[in-house]
């Protein structure tokens, strides 16, 4: 059974300010088997920080649709034929039976060293009605080394991690840091999740972060630690339910 990630948001990081701007939405319809891409409202604000439309999707007010995953995103999914594909899926907590391009992009973010693009999934309620999402921990490479790598290497699946606001963060005052139970700071929650997680912290009795998988070297730093975030799903809660995430009307 495939992991169901029908909606992925596309973000862009400004090389100048390092701020991350959500700019688009990629969807997959399992019935029609079509992919769609649309820009969202925050893309226009991102232009103030240097963003320009992707060459593959030149118009902000257009709907792009196709039966194949668009090359901009398909090039971020490791081919099945590539050596190490099975190990790659295992590092993401997926298997050949549960992986598809949208699931892979949801777990990896589609990150490449050559550009500033990243994707992240729209969460939906679990079978038990709770909130759950996976993410790769950020900024590990900027933590003190080799002590951080050593501490991450000693983490175990299911181990609970703790979150704490970092309002003095120079890049993002809304940042949420992650530490171990013995007070060892090991990284950060992805910026795209911080607004929703703050809402969940206010409305729920719990918000837990667990180690899902530790990926040792030669996995890159941004693939080192896969986490699972679990909370309640409050009445009326809708993830990414702000104006910036709404699609730009098409003409």
- Is 241 inside any structural domain? no
Average pLDDT of the segment spanning 147-167: 92
Average pLDDT of the segment spanning 168-186: 90
In this prediction, residue 2 has a pLDDT band, given cuts at 50, 70 and 90, of very low
Looking at the fold, whether 71 and 179 belong to one and the same domain comes out as no
Looking at the fold, whether 156 and 169 belong to one and the same domain comes out as yes
- Is 238 inside any structural domain? no
Task: Name the domain count of the chain.
Answer: 2
**Each residue's pLDDT tens digit, 184-193:** 999 999 888 8
Domain around 221: 126-232
Looking at the fold, whether 87 and 4 belong to one and the same domain comes out as yes
- Is 247 inside any structural domain? no
Looking at the fold, whether 148 and 188 belong to one and the same domain comes out as yes
Phi, psi (rounded to 5 degrees) for 194: -65, -40
Phi, psi (rounded to 5 degrees) for 129: 85, 5
- Provide the percentage of residues in the chain whose pLDDT is more than 70: 96
pLDDT of residue 4: 62
pLDDT of residue 151: 92
| Cβ neighbours of residue 43 closer than 8 Å, sequence gap 6 or more | 21, 22, 23, 24, 51, 53, 60, 248
Residue 123 has pLDDT above 90, yes or no: no
- Is 239 inside any structural domain? no
Looking at the fold, whether 210 and 192 belong to one and the same domain comes out as yes
- Is 63 inside any structural domain? yes
Domain end among 90, 124, 158? 124
- Is 39 inside any structural domain? yes
Looking at the fold, whether 97 and 184 belong to one and the same domain comes out as no
- Is 243 inside any structural domain? no
Looking at the fold, whether 2 and 106 belong to one and the same domain comes out as yes
Q: How far apart are CA 221 and CA 212, in angstroms?
A: 16
**Each residue's pLDDT tens digit, 46-66:** 999 999 999 999 999 999 999
Could you tell me the CATH number of the domain that includes residue 189? 3.30.70.2330
- Contacts of 22-28 with C-beta under 8 Å, sequence gap 24+, read 22/192, 22/240, 22/244, 22/245, 23/51, 24/54, 24/57, 25/245, 25/247, 26/70, 26/73, 26/102, 26/105, 26/119, 28/102
pLDDT of residue 208: 95
Domain end among 95, 124, 153? 124
Average pLDDT of the segment spanning 33-39: 96
Average pLDDT of the segment spanning 73-79: 91
- Is 135 inside any structural domain? yes
Looking at the fold, whether 115 and 169 belong to one and the same domain comes out as no
Residue 3 has pLDDT above 60, yes or no: no
pLDDT of residue 1: 34
Average pLDDT of the segment spanning 100-111: 86
**Each residue's pLDDT tens digit, 203-246:** 998 999 999 988 877 667 767 888 999 999 999 999 988 888 99
Residue 21 has pLDDT above 70, yes or no: yes
> For residues 241 and 182, which has the higher predicted lDDT (pLDDT)?
182
Domain end among 71, 100, 124? 124
Contact between 223 and 90 under an 8 Å Cβ cutoff? The reply is no
Looking at the fold, whether 114 and 6 belong to one and the same domain comes out as yes
Looking at the fold, whether 41 and 75 belong to one and the same domain comes out as yes
Looking at the fold, whether 41 and 109 belong to one and the same domain comes out as yes
Residue 72 has pLDDT above 50, yes or no: yes
Looking at the fold, whether 4 and 120 belong to one and the same domain comes out as yes
pLDDT of residue 229: 94
**What does the mean pLDDT of the chain come to?**
88
């Amino acid at each position: 059974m495939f992991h169901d990630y029908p909606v992925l948001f596309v973000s862009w990081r400004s090389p100048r300010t390092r701020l991350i701007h959500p700019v688009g939405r990629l969807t997959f319809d399992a019935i029609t088997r079509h992919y769609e891409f649309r820009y969202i409202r925050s893309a226009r604000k991102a232009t103030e920080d240097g963003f320009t439309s992707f060459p593959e999707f030149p118009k902000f007010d257009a709907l792009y649709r196709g039966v194949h995953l668009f090359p901009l995103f398909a090039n971020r999914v490791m081919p099945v034929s590539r050596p190490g594909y099975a190990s790659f899926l295992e590092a993401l907590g997926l298997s050949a039976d549960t992986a598809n391009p949208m699931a892979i992009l949801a777990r990896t973010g589609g990150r490449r060293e050559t550009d500033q693009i990243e994707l992240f999934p729209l969460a939906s309620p679990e079978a038990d009605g709770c909130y759950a999402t996976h993410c790769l921990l950020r900024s590990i490479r900027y933590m003190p080394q080799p002590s951080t790598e050593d501490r991450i290497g000693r983490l175990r699946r299911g181990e609970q991690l703790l979150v704490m606001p970092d309002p003095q963060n120079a890049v993002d005052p809304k940042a949420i840091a992650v530490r171990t139970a013995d007070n060892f700071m090991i990284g950060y929650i992805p910026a795209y999740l911080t607004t929703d997680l703050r809402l969940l912290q206010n409305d729920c009795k719990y918000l837990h972060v667990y180690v899902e998988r530790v990926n040792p070297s030669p996995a890159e730093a941004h693939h080192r630690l896969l986490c699972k975030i679990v909370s309640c799903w409050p009445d009326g809660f809708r993830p990414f339910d702000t104006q910036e995430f709404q699609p730009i009307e098409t003409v």
